[in-house]
Amino acid sequence: MNLSTQIRLALVDDHTLVRDGIRALLSVIPTVNVVGEAKNGEDALVMVEHCNPDLLLVDINLPDMSGLELTRKIRDRYHTLKVLVLSMYDSKEYVSESLRSGASGYVLKNAPSREIVAAIEAITNGGTFYSAEIAQKLLFDDGTINELTPRESQVLYNMTQGLNNKEMARELDISVRTVETHRQSIRRKLNIDKPVALAKYAIDHGIIPDREF
């Protein structure tokens, strides 16, 4: 991770094994400090008050309230606290509702562990993050974006995350020249050539939430 400052992170999930697994995953990252855990929404609200985390990882299914309801309450009370939703559901409706609730990302529980790490990095740096499967679903649900190839869709998604050509090449395991070719193709197919216009297009189509701009 490219994090240079200590990140205070808290976990909200009603399954102890899930919390233990995420905590173990993050324990090898020296810049991430798990400062609190909660098994339901009400406990989470109390925990946040006492632990003052920077980022909250929230399960979408909680015993007393949904993770989306908790996210809305958290964002209403703590405007600078970021929320990353963890879910087993890959429906666009859940993802769209998480954005409306104020979440900065949505990661599937069956995603590779590196996606959770990447999500924490992106959100901590002021961006957003969605599991690759979720990002592809959002992209392909739009008629215009259906004109893009799967690889072009991945490049467009990474562009919305603020990655430069070298970072995208490393993330997608392709050459920088190939990234440049895909970017040119995206701009040609969408008839958009300015970064700001591409960002607006992504916002208009639900790829990234407009509250980030």
DSSP string, 143-154: TTGGGS-HHHHH
Domains and CATH numbers, the chain: 7-131 (3.40.50.2300), 142-212 (1.10.10.10)
């679903």: which residue's tokens?
Answer: 137
Per-residue pLDDT tens digits for 90-103: 887 888 888 888 99
The structure tokens 């400052």 sit at 5
Longest Cα separation, the chain:
51
Average pLDDT of the segment spanning 65-89: 93
Higher pLDDT, 183 or 61: 61
d(CA 39, CA 24): 17
Using left for φ > 0, alpha for ψ between -120 and 50, and beta otherwise, residue 4 falls in: alpha
Q: Which residues of 67-94 are buried (b: 16+ CB within 10 A; e: fewer)?
A: bbebbbbbbeebeebbbbbbbeebeeeb
pLDDT (0 to 100) of residue 166: 92
Mean pLDDT of 59-79: 94
Determine the pLDDT at residue 198: 72
